[in-house]
Structures are given as structure tokens and as C-alpha cells.
Amino acid sequence: MFLRRIKSIGNVRLISPYVESHDLIRQASAVLSITGTLGWEAVLYEVPVITFGDAFYNAFDLVYRARDVRLLPDLISEAITHFRPDRELLLKFIAAMFLGTYEGFRPSTDSYVLTDENIRRVARALVAELNLERAGAAKTLAHAEGFA
């Protein structure tokens, strides 16, 4: 009953769960996502993305944020007509993601989060970041003292 009601909406098509999502993304004019990986995949395929939630890839300058659903029609139109991929910006974003992320799971209700293995990973990441900050601060201080 619910699916029939959805199908009755104009311009709505239900897609088989067996269809490859990457094929859909490549053919899409835009992708709308709450916070899912489909949005991230669309970013990588250089397809305009509109997000409704707090996705990590919202930090990418070319992702559109739906902050008010009343403005959604205009936002979709803007994403489809004005989006221009920027390969260099995308590569810089991906590089920054790799440089600024570490293995380990974020806080959640998943039991894996509190395993010794995951806690060690998170601790190693914190130590690495603190060492990078200290090294950067020391370099900045040495540089500033050179000009004193």
C-alpha cells in the first residue's frame, strides 16, 4: 500500500534494490542525501550533492546544504544548473581527508567502539595529532624567533 502511494507521485520511480548504485549516481542530475555514503560517492563522481544532515563531506565547498526544506526546489535547480565540478579542489579535499583521518571508530552504540583494539587506535591517533601540533608550534616559534 505504502509503495503504491509513493509510485503514484508524479516523476517518482521506484528502483530495484538490485540496481548498481554507482550506475544511478553517474546518470543523476543531482543526489540528495541525509548523511549517507551515497552522497560521498556522488561527490567523488563529481555529481552535485545536496545534504540534509551533518555529513563529513559537507566540508567540501561544492556540497549544497538543505537548511530549509521550503527552499529545496530552488536549491535543486541551482545544483543542477550552476554546479561546476572542480577536479583540483576535489583532489585537495581527498588529500586533506587522508592526512587528517585515522583508523578507529567514532563514538556510537556499536560494541566495537570500546574494544581494546579500537581504543589503542584512537589513542595512537591522538598522540600523532599532538605530536604534529607540537612540531608545528615549535617550527612556528623557531621561525618567529629568527625574525626577532
Chain mean position to CA 87: 16
| Tally of domains within the chain | 2
Alpha-carbon distance values, 14 to 11, 17, 19, 24, 90 (Å): 10, 9, 11, 12, 31
Comparison of pLDDT for 27 and 14, the residue scoring more: 27
Same domain, yes or no: 95 and 115: no
Is residue 33 located within the same domain as residue 74? Answer: yes
- Grid cell, residue 133, equals 601540533
Considering the domain architecture, whether residues 74 and 142 belong to the same structural domain is answered as no
Predicted model pTM: 0.69
The residue type found at 20 is E
Q: Is 105 among the domain residues? A: no
**48-64 per-position pLDDT tens digit:** 999 999 999 999 999 99
- pLDDT value of residue 77: 97
pLDDT tens, residue by residue, 105-143: 666 677 777 888 888 888 888 888 788 767 765 665 555
Q: Do the domain assignments include residue 104?
A: no
Is the pLDDT assigned to residue 148 strictly greater than 50? no
Instruction: Check whether residue 135 and residue 72 sit in a common domain.
Output: no
Quote the pLDDT of residue 136.
63
Q: What is the pLDDT of residues 81-92, one digit of tens each?
A: 999 999 999 999
72 lies in the same domain as 127: no
Would you say residue 11 has pLDDT above 90? no
Give the domain range for residue 131: 111-146
Residue 139: inside a domain, yes or no? yes
